[in-house]
Structure 1
Amino acid sequence: MANSDNPTLESLAAQITELSGQLPTSYSNLTGEMFMVRQKLLDSLNDMWWLAQGPSESIFNYCHSAIPDATVLNTLNSFGFWGAVPLTGSTTYADIAHEVQLPQAVVYRLLQHAMTLRIFAEEAGKDGNAPRVRHTSRSAALARQPGLRALVSTVLDDAGAPLMVLPEALRRFSSGKTDLTQKTDETAFALFHQGGQFGGKFETSWDYIENDGEGEKKGWRQRNFVQFMSYLKDIFLLEDKVLAAYDWASAGKASVVDIGGSAGHDAFALAQKFPDLTITVQDLPQVRSSFEASRPAAVADRVSFSAHSFFEPQPVQADIYLIKLILHDWPDAECLKILRGLIPALRPGAKVIILEYLGNYGTATDVRVMALFNAKERSVSKWKSLVAEVDPRFKIEKVEAKPEAFFALIEAVWTG
């Protein structure tokens, strides 16, 4: 509970009033301190929401609405409802149905539920005409931001159904054991897709993202994931965290490998700010086109793309290896394989910089990666012990964790 073990509606209302007065009116560029104030405010609002309903009714209401809420948002996103309504003005249900190519009765039912979530709103038609639909701030955000649409697709469309079979996966593969199974073919995702009823027997979430679709649609989830990651970098200000992760200026004319670097957004920022750096972005071959489309001409001579799976031995010898938001998607055994795969290329003094989520601040993500990969979010101590287990020739030089930033930074040097 946000206020105490036994809060009242009055005490929560007082706390909400106090916390509201501390927040700026802008939603963007919140400092770490303001982000934590907002989290406390949201906790208090949640406590009031549950308390006002009572314990039994709050559970009933959640079960009644949680899956339909997610289903409707995913469906509107999948069929492009955001672009079917003008950002200024309104339109009819019939026109929306024509745009999204669904029966009007279905469109009406989906939108009626969406409106309970303040996604779209209905207004009366003039002169007795049919009611019309307009955007709210929430639906307009999805219309304006491709990255937000990519987030909805990745989290709900890619991961939603596998999450719902997590109980059965745990029952089959982990029940009675002392720890979660580490096999990537014993995930909730693998269990859901093993029958192939949705287009293919995909072994892992990455296999699905990379290979789903036919013809021009093949790889659309991979392209969507790249956009999703770009959006995450913006909302978490990840570029700033990468720039501050190391004393890049002191590195001089250093070579950097950005492992699993997606379309290279962070590499471009590093190269622009530190002109002595030469950076290789490594990711799967399907990402190359997104990288080339995004690369600024000003850094084209210093930032290159190399197709590489981080499960294979590292082929590039460099001064610094950057691994960000990669390892939390894999069980310990795979993480160790990824990190040990660097060893063939490491020279004494080479640095490995790991930037990852702090496990105790990402419980929703923790459950999601459990269902998809049998992976987990980790605390600072878990990250340290994982790196220490890789090889005794790794020396951890720096550990930095800022709870308000939700990230941990670990810097290790190869002493071999």
Structure 2
Amino acid sequence: MASTSRIAALAKEIETQTTKLDKFFAESQLPPPSFDEDAPLMYPFPPDVAEAQEALSAALDELWWLNQGPIQTIVAKSFATSVGLKTILRYNIQNLVPFETGTTYKELAEKTGVPEKKLTRLLRHGITDHFFRETQPGHIKHTVATKALAAMPVLATWASMGMYDVGPAKMRVGSGPYMVDAVAKWPDSEEPNHSGFQLANDTDKTMFEFFEEHPERMSRFKDAMAFLSTFPGLEPSYAVKAYDWASLGKATVVDVGGSHGAVSIALANEFPDLELVVQDLPKVIEDAKAKAPADLSQRVTFQAHDFFEEQPVKDADVYYFRWIFHDWSDKYCVKILRALIPALKAGARILLSERCLEPPCTLPLRAERWNRDSDITMLATSNSQERDEDDWKALLKAADSNLTLEEVRRTPGAKLDLIVARWK
């Protein structure tokens, strides 16, 4: 008979230690742990139960790691996860939210002086770590964790010491926690060089400008992005599945900011009637041309172009952007869209392969974490954002009232959605 796997052994250990804890709660008539605001802050565990709790924690940690696997674990732990907590501590938010009734993001923004949109994003990231809970869109209440910060000032003091004194002395923790300071310094800014990245690196350059001056970091960034594109749900094949490309018939597709043309090459292999133009900055295009498959050279062409400048390819059927808009604030996304307008013919479509965030209070916290991590990463590095459907509608309208959101397409298994806009 096959020996028991390590994950099965850990599951059994978790069951054993959980049973001991559950027995203690039943016999002591204490409520079991929960995230509820009125849950106990601490338990008077006798030594044997405290030992069971420690054994349970150890088994849970190991099982989490094994279940995630090395790649997902390293990715998950490579970015700071204390953004929500630092926001709470910096603005004393634990004491601004009434027990039981809770409050709104709007009220908190008025009390803290932080713009509501940015404060909402910061706190929603913390919610995925159970710092507060959003009971309905726009309204938050305490969890036991945030109530503990409010009820035990010494706990908040301890956490603040770790955040501001001990932590920075141990290591520079990247742009994440600096981002909270950047929001305080530049609350209403939409400039890409007003983010945590600038504070973390003592520069006034944007992240990409800074990388240009530090080739080793630019190389690391490019390699990291190439690695990310291999993640399940992010491969170019999902761009092929995301839209009914065949319905276009003989058509021209402009892949704006398309790098080395991975998506265009995948589309060309599947749809022989498509002619594709890949656009990016000159250095990228020079390298892309050298690596492009020769057998597709008649249908996949490459062109140097800055997407902030007027679009040179006129009357194309589709202008496609993959993971471009989340790098830029609304101010600059409007500029990108307006640069397209002189080239658009009636009925032309703009396809944006991006996240379209689900409405709050609709996803499990683990699924929500993926969205919030990405949103906070963009705020920390570029003062930019991920967007929900209302954000996309508002962005298109701000660029031109003739641009309308036609649909949002969600492909099973894909990490990116497809925002379909149409020029009237």
Q: TM-score per shorter chain, which class?
A: 0.5 to 0.7
Match in the other structure for 1:235:
231
Secondary structure class of the residue paired with 2:279: strand
The question of whether the paired residues in 1 share the 8 Å contact of 2:242 and 2:409 is answered with no
* Amino acid of the structure 1 residue aligned with 2:225: M
Question: Which residue of 2 is the match for residue 391 of structure 1?
Answer: 400
Note the C-alpha offset of 1:407: 3.0
Superposed displacement of residue 345, structure 1: 0.8
Question: Take 2:167 and 2:371, find their aligned partners in 1: how far apart are those partners?
Answer: 19
Aligned to 1:165: 178
Deviation at 1:344, TM superposition (A): 1.0
Contact 1:284–1:309 (CA under 8 A) maintained in structure 2? yes
Give 1:247 shift.
0.9
Pick the aligned partner of 1:276 from 258, 273, 276. 273
SS in 2 for 1:304: strand
3-state secondary structure, aligned to 1:183: coil
Matched letter for residue 350 of structure 1: A
Output the CA distance in 2 between the equivalents of 1:242 and 1:275. 16
Aligned-residue offset at 1:264: 1.4
**Match in the other structure for 2:264:** 267
Secondary structure of 1:282's aligned partner: strand
How many residue pairs end up in the alignment?
285
Q: Is the 8 A contact 1:380 1:401 kept in 2?
A: no
The one-letter code of the counterpart of 1:410 is I
Is the deviation greater in 255-264 or in 282-291?
A: 282-291
Q: Superposed, which structure 2 residues align to 1:134-283 within 5 Å?
A: 160=174, 162-174=175-187, 180-192=188-200, 203-209=205-211, 211-213=212-214, 219-238=215-234, 239-283=236-280
1:59-115 deviation line (CA, Å, top 9, x unaligned): 6998599779987xxxxxxxxxxxxxxxxxxxxxxxxxxxxxxxxxxxxxxxxxxxx
Deviation digits for residues 128-152 of structure 1 (CA, Å, limit 9, x no counterpart): xxxxxxxxxxxxxxxxxxxxxxxxx
Residue 371 of structure 1 corresponds to: 380
In the alignment, the residues of structure 1 paired with residue 280 and residue 320 of structure 2 have an alpha-carbon distance, to the nearest angstrom, of 13
**Residue 287 of structure 1: CA displacement?**
1.2
Aligned to 1:34: none
Q: 1:275 to 1:226 in 2, by over 3 A?
A: farther
In structure 2, C-alpha distance between the alignment counterparts of 1:3 and 1:301, rounded to whole Å: 62
* d(CA) in 2 for partners of 1:69, 1:401: 42
C-alpha RMSD of matched pairs (Å): 4.1
Match of 1:400 in 2: 409
Aligned partner of 2:239: which letter?
A: V
| Residue type at the aligned position of 2:197 | F
* One-letter identity of the residue aligned with 2:268: A
Preserved contact between residue 322 and residue 352 of structure 2 (Cα < 8 Å): yes
User: TM-score, length-normalised on structure 1?
Assistant: 0.57
Partner in structure 1 of residue 296 of structure 2: 299
Distance in 2 (CA, whole Å) between partners of 1:325 and 1:252 is 25
Tell me if 1:411 matches 2:409. no
With 240-249 and 327-336 compared, the bigger mean Cα shift is at: 240-249
Which has the higher mean CA deviation after the structures are superposed, 183-192 or 230-239? Answer: 183-192
Structure 2 gap segments, 5+ residues each = 1-32, 44-51, 72-128, 131-143, 150-154, 358-367
Whose relative contact order is higher, 1 or 2, with alpha carbons under 8 Å and at least 6 apart? 2
Q: CA deviation at 1:241?
A: 2.5
**Cα pair distance change 1:293/1:231, threshold 3 Å:** farther
Q: Which one-letter code corresponds to 2:330 in the other structure?
A: D
Length-normalised TM-score, structure 2: 0.56
In 2, Cα distance between the equivalents of 1:190 and 1:336? 24
8 Å Cα contact 2:279-2:302 kept in structure 1 = yes
Partner of 1:381: 390
Q: Secondary structure at the match of 1:362?
A: helix
Distance 2:267 2:166 in 1: 44
Query: 2:125 is matched with which residue?
Result: none
Percent identity reads 34
Distance 2:181 2:414 in 1: 34
Cα distance, 1:274 vs. partner?
Answer: 1.2
Take 1:293 and 1:66, find their aligned partners in 2: how far apart are those partners?
Answer: 46
Which amino acid is the alignment partner of residue 194 of structure 2? Answer: E
Structure 1: state its 5+ residue gaps.
29-45, 72-155, 175-179, 197-201, 214-218
Q: Matched residues in 1 for 2:336 and 2:177: separation?
A: 29
Question: Residue 128 of structure 1 corresponds to which residue in structure 2?
Answer: none
Contact 2:238 2:411 in 1 (8 A): no
* Correspondence for 2:351 among 346, 350, 353: 353
Partner of 2:333: 335
